[in-house]
Amino acid sequence: MKRILLGYERAGQCLTFDEYSGNNGFAALRKALGEMSPAQVQQTVIDSGLRGRGGAGFPTGKKWSFVPRDLPGPRYLICNADEMEPGTYKDRVLLEQNPHLLIEGMLLACYALGVEHAFIFVRRGYELAAENLRQGIAAAHRAGLLGRNILGSGFSLELDIHQSAGRYICGEETALINALEGVRANPRVKPPFPAVKGLWGQPTVVNNVETLANIPAIIARGPAWWRGLAATPEAAGPKLFCISGHVANTECFELPLGMTLGEIIDGPCGGMRPGSRFKACIPGGASTPYFTREHWGVAMDFDPVARAGSRLGTGGIIVFDQTTCMVGATLNLIRFFARESCGWCTPCREGLPFVRHILERIENGRGKTDDIEILREHVRYLNYAFCALAPGAMGPLEGLLRLFGDEVKEHIVRGKCPFGNH
C-alpha cells in the first residue's frame, strides 16, 4: 500500500516545509480553493467514508454536517492532539515527522466549514511536536498559505497552538473545549453539542490529528481512490496502528484498514518475540476489551471489531504473551483511569478507585469469591457515568471477566497470583 500519512518517514528528522511542498504538498489545498466549493469539499469527505481516528470512529463528514450555517458569529475547528491513551502514540509520530500534513488538512477542513480561526490542542509532553507545528505554521504564513486571503481565494485562516496542562480527560471533546477556554477540564452536558454550541458558545468541530491528516489525500486523489487503500470493501482508507508489547517490532505502522489481527502481528510486527506465545492483546488503546487467539481472523476495522466484542478505538495494539498476568495488566490500566478521573460524577469518582481496590485485593491474594460479582456490577454501573472515561475504563475489566474469568478465580482460590507477581 502507498503510504500517505508516514510516506516521508526519516529516522529522527522532520520533513521541511520546502520538502513537503516539493512533493505535491498543498496541492489539495490549491485544488480545493481553485476548483471546489466548501460544500463540495465536505461532500467529498462524506463520500470517502472517513471515520474519526481519535477513538469514537464517527463519520467525519457527517460530523461536519451538524454545524449550522445560519447562526451569526464565528465558528471554530479544534484539532485534538492531546494523546494520552496508554498504548497510543500515532499522533506524536505523525507530528514529529510531518506536521505540514496536519496543517494542510486543517486548512481544507476550515475551508469546508467556514472557519477562520482554528486551534491545535497539544499534549503537554509533546514538546517536539509542538515546536514542529510552530515552525510549519510560520512557514505556511510566509508562503501565503495561512493568514488573509489565502492564494487570492478570499478564504482566510489563523491557526494557533495550545499546549495542554496535561490530563487524560482533555481527550473528551467538551472537556477539551473547557480547558481551551481556561476553565476546569470537566465534560459538559450534551445537548447542546459542540457543533451548535462549543468554544465560546460558537459552533465548533473537534477532530483528531490522524483524521485531519487524511483529508489532503482524499481531496487530491478522490474518495474512491482513498477508500481503495483499505484491505476490505467494508473498510475505507489507511490506519495508523501503534504496536507495543511482546512482539518483535514495536512501532507505529501505516496499514490498510481491515487487515486481520493475525496479519498485523505476523506481518509488520514480525511475530512474537523469541520464546513468547500470543495470549491476548488490547486492540484499540487502553479503553478497549481484550482480544485472544480466537480473534486472530478479525478484520481490524471499526464494525468488525465491534461485532467481535471490542472497539478499534485509536488502533493502539498492546500485545501480551503467556507470562502476563491479566489481572495485573487490568489493574495497571484501572490505576491509570482512576488517577485521571476528573471527579465530576459519582460513578467515575467513587467507582474507579473501588474497582482498583478490589483488583488489588485479588492480585495480592486476598480476593473473595464475591469480588467477581462486585466487579461485574461495576462494569454495568459505571456505564452511567457522565462521560466516556469510566465506561472506557470498564472495557478491559469486562474483557478480563469474560475471557479470563478462570484466571481471576485462580487468584482467589490459590490466595496468590499464579504468575508470581506477589
The answer to whether residues 262 and 361 belong to one domain is no
The answer to whether residues 162 and 41 belong to one domain is yes
The answer to whether residues 354 and 286 belong to one domain is no
- Closest by CA to 89, choosing from 314, 396, 403, 323, is 314
- Distance separating alpha carbons of residues 141 and 100, to the nearest angstrom: 12
**Which residue type does 106 have?**
M
- Answer whether residue 422 is part of any domain: no
- Answer whether residue 261 is part of any domain: yes
Domain containing residue 286: CATH number: 3.10.20.600
- Answer whether residue 233 is part of any domain: no
Last residue of a domain, one of 227, 259, 285: 227
The answer to whether residues 169 and 307 belong to one domain is no
Q: Is 272 helix (H, G, I), strand (E, B) or coil?
A: strand
- Distance separating alpha carbons of residues 118 and 102, to the nearest angstrom: 12
The answer to whether residues 138 and 270 belong to one domain is no
- Answer whether residue 253 is part of any domain: yes
The answer to whether residues 183 and 250 belong to one domain is no
Last residue of a domain, one of 268, 290, 321: 321
User: What is the residue whose three cell numbers read 509520530?
Assistant: 93
| Half-sphere CA count of 305, side-chain side, radius 13 A | 28
* Under 8 Å between Cβ of 304 and 261: no
The answer to whether residues 177 and 283 belong to one domain is no
- Closest by CA to 251, choosing from 390, 94, 105, 375, is 94
Quick one: three-class SS letters along 231-268?
CCCCCCCEEEEEEEECECCCCEEEEECCCEHHHHHHCC
pLDDT at position 422:
56
Domain containing residue 201: CATH number: 3.40.50.11540
- Distance separating alpha carbons of residues 404 and 334, to the nearest angstrom: 16
Q: Is this prediction's pTM over 0.85? A: yes
pLDDT at position 8:
79
Total tally of structural domains belonging to the chain: 3
The answer to whether residues 144 and 21 belong to one domain is yes
- Closest by CA to 79, choosing from 129, 25, 22, is 129
The answer to whether residues 46 and 171 belong to one domain is yes
Q: Over the chain (422 residues), what is each successive 10-residue block's mean pLDDT? A: 81 89 95 96 97 91 92 93 93 95 98 97 93 97 96 96 89 94 93 94 96 97 96 95 96 96 97 96 96 97 96 96 97 96 92 97 94 95 92 96 96 91 63
- Answer whether residue 115 is part of any domain: yes
Cβ-in-10-Å burial (0-12, 13-18, 19+) of 11 comes to: exposed
The answer to whether residues 112 and 183 belong to one domain is yes
- Answer whether residue 419 is part of any domain: no
The answer to whether residues 67 and 189 belong to one domain is yes
The answer to whether residues 259 and 189 belong to one domain is no
- Answer whether residue 135 is part of any domain: yes
Which residue range forms the structural domain that includes residue 249?
238-321
- Answer whether residue 313 is part of any domain: yes
Q: Which residues contact 181 (CB under 8 A, 6 or more apart)?
A: 199, 200
**E strand segments, 97-193:** 117-122, 158-163
* Under 8 Å between Cβ of 102 and 130: no
Q: Which three cell numbers stand for residue 366?
A: 486476598
pLDDT at position 105:
98
